[in-house]
Amino acid sequence: MAHALPLASTARVRRRLPPVLAVVAVVALLALPVAGDGADGAHPADVASGLAVLYCAVRLVRDRRRPLSGRAAAVLGPPVLGLAVAAMGALSPGAGLTGLGRYLQVFVLVPATVLLLVRDRGDVRLLAWSMVGLAAWQGAVGVHQYVTGTGASYQGEQVRAVGTFGPQDVMGMATVVSLGVVCAVGLALGRTPARQRLLAAGCALALLLPLAVSFSRGAWIATALTCAAQLLLAGVRRALAVGAAVVAAGVVLVGGFGVGTAMLQERVGSITRVADAPDQSVTDRYTMWAAAVGMWHERPLTGVGLKGFPEHRDGHASLALSSGSETDGAGAGYHRQPLLSPHNMYLLVLAEQGLFGLLTLAGSWLALLVLGLRRLRASRRSGRAGQDCALVACGLLVWQLTDFAYADIGGPSTVLTAVCFGLAAWWGLGTDATVGPAPVPAPGAKEVPAP
């Protein structure tokens, strides 16, 4: 009898712990520094994402639940077919299997796991706040690197904020901080208690500083467009009020903290000079984009196969392409990093998977976006609670789809892309009952959870 009581207590604790903690653990592990001198290899967060998928599968078998609804399978399933075809066209079986596993992890398995493990809006808020916390940690490390001159090399000075991701994954911290800003803005625009909304708004404003010193033009553009979309979706009046606050914060950052350095001003100005006088990084990107289009012209339907871009790059790239990018600083030595992708997700898919792969993969993303925006509009009309969760989910998806025009998957932060697609799937693939007329709650009743 004495042994039965602790076992019963342990079982009750397990029942109280939300399953979404398995996904929160994936986010939390991204706070760990990248091991070694590069960004390749399995990060603990990738391992945790695999364990989360396994945990979800065990729960489904134990509870005898149907894995996915018909609509969810129709949205998340088609990419599997396109990826399988592209894997069979790879240069080697090893490359095909490696690429297939990575794509399935990011765009199918982990998003489906998030969809199944998130139970209600409380879980969404917990996951969103964990992403804000991760962004705050990585941003603090990045600002310290910028202030002390211990960051990655940029224009001969070690001032580029990269957080714990290292100089060979310069987009890692920028991605994490940008997604943290999107989550914070979504939480601030909801109907939660005022204290929580003020805290979220403060976090969003504070994260603008590390985002600025990341010197990532693509992250700046994607974040600005996404936050503007979130504000407009929340209402024009609120958009004007928050816009005024952002302008005021920008004045403080530039005037009070000296963020507007010459290097930052030059980086901002280079956004408008990509056509007239592009720097070498922009020239390399245009050249690789042209190479990706050339690969697609060669094999328009199925592409050159997964992991095939590096092997076919030189046969389609012009002489304007440099031999690689130089990385240094942030605790790592000098390294010349080869250019192995076009830094455009849509063109990468088009080159390696062809038109068939692009239609199945991008079609899944577009379906999630349409479904999510439709449910957000219906939720606003019905006056139901949980608008913050909708703005977070839709905002994360908009950010990813915008950023894909300047970047592709790669590095430890890619696992966050999978989490974002999972949250978008949770919101967009919810049942229609959750967007109907809001019921009148009984006194003391809790908010009705979304599926």
The 10s digit of each residue's pLDDT in 105-139 is 999 999 999 999 998 899 999 999 999 999 999 99
User: pLDDT for 259-309, tens place per residue?
Assistant: 555 655 566 555 555 545 566 777 888 888 999 999 999 999 999 999 988
Give the other-Cβ count within 10 Å of 187's Cβ: 25
Q: In what order do the strands lie in the sheet containing 152-154?
A: 157-160, 152-154, 325-329, 332-337
Q: Which two tokens stand for residue 379?
A: 């939720």
Q: Which helix (H) or strand (E) element contains residue 254?
A: none
The gap between the terminal CA atoms of the chain, to the nearest Å, is 39
pLDDT for the residue numbered 145 = 92
Residues of the chain with pLDDT under 50: 1-2, 5, 7-8, 10-11, 13, 37-39, 275, 432-451
334: helix, strand or coil = strand
Q: Rounded distance, CA 388 to CA 297, Å?
A: 43
Backbone torsion region of residue 444, taken as left when φ is above 0, otherwise alpha when ψ lies between -120 and 50, otherwise beta = left
DSSP assignment letter at 252: I
* 330 exposure class (CB count in 10 Å sphere: 0-12, 13-18, 19+): buried
pTM reported for the whole predicted model: 0.86
Asked if residues 304 and 356 have their Cβ atoms less than 8 Å apart, the reply is no
Token readout for 375 is 């449910």
- What pLDDT does residue 432 have? 38
Structure tokens at 171: 């987009």
Q: Is the dihedral of CA 101, 106, 110, 115 positive or negative?
A: negative
| pLDDT confidence of residue 378 | 85
Say what the alpha-carbon torsion angle 408, 227, 23, 33 is, to the nearest 10 degrees: 60
pLDDT score at 86: 92
pLDDT of amino acid 260: 53
Angle 194-212/121-148 helices, nearest 10 degrees? Answer: 40
